């Protein structure tokens, strides 16, 4: 299994991954819309002999602390036949490494704390932010000391509003 940057020719594979994992294409459409809007920071695809998983990170503007560079992790999916083999974890960690190299300070995710807690995501870090997704499933991970100081309202990529 290897992880690489998604390319335009991966669209069919990406749709197959999301369709198999979620039974719908709303998440694939989210990736396409974020790309079209220029809000996609990182889009990674995991391949074995077939496409196995995908993850996207998009821009997040912290209106209260705009000098802090932040991103949102979403969506993430692994094709059911490839699940529970560490591919989801490899996609998350590869993405976090690349964002650290690009000097990002903070990443937010909305998801199961049981899953994301293993990477260091913590609901406490997200409590100081005001987002459309406030609650126990919203978690933050500081990639730098600056990231720990994030607070106040945030602006997600426009495509998230269109998803609801
Ligand atoms: C969630 C998902 C991306 C994990 O990918 P994966 O490659 O199977 O995950 P890994 O192999 O890295 O890790 C497996 C662990 O994830 C846990 N896990 C899988 N799906 C989970 C879920 N929806 N909620 C909580 N934990 C989950 C497994 O129980 C396992 O836990 P363990 O290590 O304690 O046994 C994958 O199961 C998936 O695509 N699910 C459907 C889509 C989805 O729910 N996406 C997440 C959006 S936030």
78 C-alpha to center of ligand 1: Å?
8
Q: In terms of residue numbers, what domain contains 76? A: 2-163
Q: Is 26 in the pocket of ligand 1 (CB under 6 A)?
A: no
Reported confidence tier of residue 78, pLDDT bands at 50, 70, 90: very high
Return the ligand 1 atom nearest residue 82 CA. 7
Q: What is the DSSP letter of 144?
A: S
Determine the pLDDT at residue 164.
66
User: What total of structural domains would you count in the chain?
Assistant: 1
Ligand 1 atom 5 nearest Cα: 88
Within a 10 A sphere around the Cβ of 15, how many other Cβ atoms? 18
How far apart are alpha carbons 145 and 84 in whole angstroms? 32
Average pLDDT over residues 10-24: 96
Strand partners, 46: 3, 53
Reported confidence tier of residue 83, pLDDT bands at 50, 70, 90: very high
Backbone angles phi, psi at 62, to 5 degrees: -95, 105
Residue 158: CA count within 13 A, CB half-sphere: 7
Backbone angles phi, psi at 124, to 5 degrees: -60, -40
pTM (two decimals): 0.95
Q: Is 23 in the pocket of ligand 1 (CB under 6 A)?
A: no
How far apart are alpha carbons 18 and 2 in whole angstroms? 18
Chain-centre distance for alpha carbon 7: 17
DSSP string, 42-87: EEEEEESSSEEEEEEEEEEEESSSTTS-EEEEEEEEE-GGGTTSSH
Q: Is 86 in the pocket of ligand 1 (CB under 6 A)?
A: yes
Q: Is 117 in the pocket of ligand 1 (CB under 6 A)?
A: no
Tell me the CATH number at 122. 3.40.630.30
- Segment 99-121, tens digit of pLDDT: 999 999 999 999 999 999 999 99
């Amino acid at each position: 299994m290897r992880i690489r940057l998604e390319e335009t020719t991966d669209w069919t594979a990406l749709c197959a991954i999301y369709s198999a994992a979620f039974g719908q294409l709303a998440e694939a459409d989210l990736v396409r819309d974020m790309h079209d809007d220029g809000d996609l920071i990182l889009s990674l695809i995991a391949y074995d002999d077939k496409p196995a998983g995908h993850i996207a990170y998009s821009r997040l503007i912290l209106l209260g602390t705009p000098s802090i560079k932040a991103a949102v992790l979403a969506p993430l999916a692994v094709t059911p036949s490839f699940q529970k083999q560490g591919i989801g974890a490899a996609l998350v960690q590869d993405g976090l490494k690349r964002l650290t190299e690009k000097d990002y300070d903070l990443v937010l995710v909305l998801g199961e704390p049981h899953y994301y807690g293993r990477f260091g995501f913590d609901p406490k870090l997200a409590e100081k932010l005001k987002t459309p997704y406030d609650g126990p499933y919203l978690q933050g991970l500081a990639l730098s000391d600056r990231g720990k100081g994030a607070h106040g309202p945030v602006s997600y990529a426009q495509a998230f509003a269109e998803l609801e």
